[in-house]
Amino acid sequence: MLAALTCVVLGRFQPNVVCGAASSLVNLGHDLITHAKESGGGEGSLPKMRKLMHGGEAVTKSMQECIDTAFSPTLVYSFFGSAETGVWAVHLPSCPPGVYLYDRRLVHLEFMKGDGSMCEEGEEGGDLIVTNLLRYRFPVVRYHSGDKGRAEKVKSEWLPPSFPQLEAKHLSAFLFEGRNGQSIAMGPLFFTVDFLIDKVEKGAALNGVKVLRVQFVATDNTCVVRIVFDDVGDGVDAATVVDAAVTHIQAELTSLLARAPHASFSVKSCSLADLTSSISSQKIPVLVRM
């Protein structure tokens, strides 16, 4: 019903720009695509947007595909920032994937290495440390945003032809490389590893079993959770206990995704040998608590 009403509104006003949080645009896009299929209109009946602007979260490959299919935007802009630092960077259609531009008069950006020291000019990047230079009443100084990136040199072809040259000298750029490895992105949501570990351990404890190892493998909007459970003891049906624990943990983690309907957790029990083998063979980022 909502998708049908949205189509009526789109047809009436013929907008050519759409803005919003990426997850909201994905949810709207998914509804529009579903409505187009069910109504027989096909993709030809979907809106065609000249500009699409989103921000507030990282956009995964599947989210981008949904947005492209639903809105067919000619130009896509992405805004970068946080509630603590404000919005301070933008990805223009002419920028390479993942590259954001920012004005050095707005923020001071540093990159912190794993040992806590700051990267010198020319070094590889690290965690983004942001200082907002315009907030005098409630200043934010050297805020650890939880994002990773590295500095990039601004190239003239990244800027629109009409961009004032006097302003261009104040611009810097960075390549966004994701979160810092201590959290997992699920749609618009970010969960710290410690938070998820706590959920897993409590769910196991409620079913009378302990957790020995946990592995998180996050790809796009799916996170596979592999758990090695401790022996449950004699006289107990281990398979029944483990299955109950997995079901409970699956339900607990899934309940966290109310605001991310396209994301999912997949909880599995495995042996220590299988987990060790899986870790050594992974070619994608893996978060493990040993």
Q: In the structure, what pLDDT confidence band is assigned to residue 180 with cuts at 50, 70 and 90? A: low
How many CB atoms sit inside 10 A of residue 289's CB? 14
Average pLDDT score over residue span 192-218 = 86
pTM equals 0.64
Could you give all domains of the chain from N- to C-terminal order, each with its CATH number? 1-73 (no CATH), 99-179 (no CATH), 184-289 (3.30.70)
Taking the C-alpha atoms of 38, 42, 43 and 49 in order, what is their torsion angle to the nearest 10 degrees?
-70
Contact call for residues 216 and 196 (beta carbons, < 8 A)? yes
Whole-number pLDDT of residue 248: 93
Contact call for residues 169 and 113 (beta carbons, < 8 A)? no
In this model, does residue 57 exceed pLDDT 80?
no
How far, in Å, CA of 69 to CA of 283, rounded?
29
How many CB atoms sit inside 10 A of residue 277's CB? 12
Whole-number pLDDT of residue 278: 53
Residue 228 β-bridge partners: 213
Average pLDDT score over residue span 37-42 = 77
In this model, does residue 275 exceed pLDDT 80?
no
Contact call for residues 181 and 216 (beta carbons, < 8 A)? no
Q: Which range, 14-28, 79-93, 222-236, has the best average confidence (pLDDT)?
A: 79-93
- Write down the mean pLDDT value for the chain: 82
Whole-number pLDDT of residue 104: 95
- 68-85: pLDDT as tens digits: 888 988 898 999 988 888
In this model, does residue 97 exceed pLDDT 80?
yes
- 241-263: pLDDT as tens digits: 899 999 999 999 999 888 777 78
Helix (H) or strand (E) holding 61: helix 61-71
Q: Which pair of tokens denotes residue 130?
A: 């942001």
Average pLDDT score over residue span 127-138 = 89
In this model, does residue 223 exceed pLDDT 90?
no
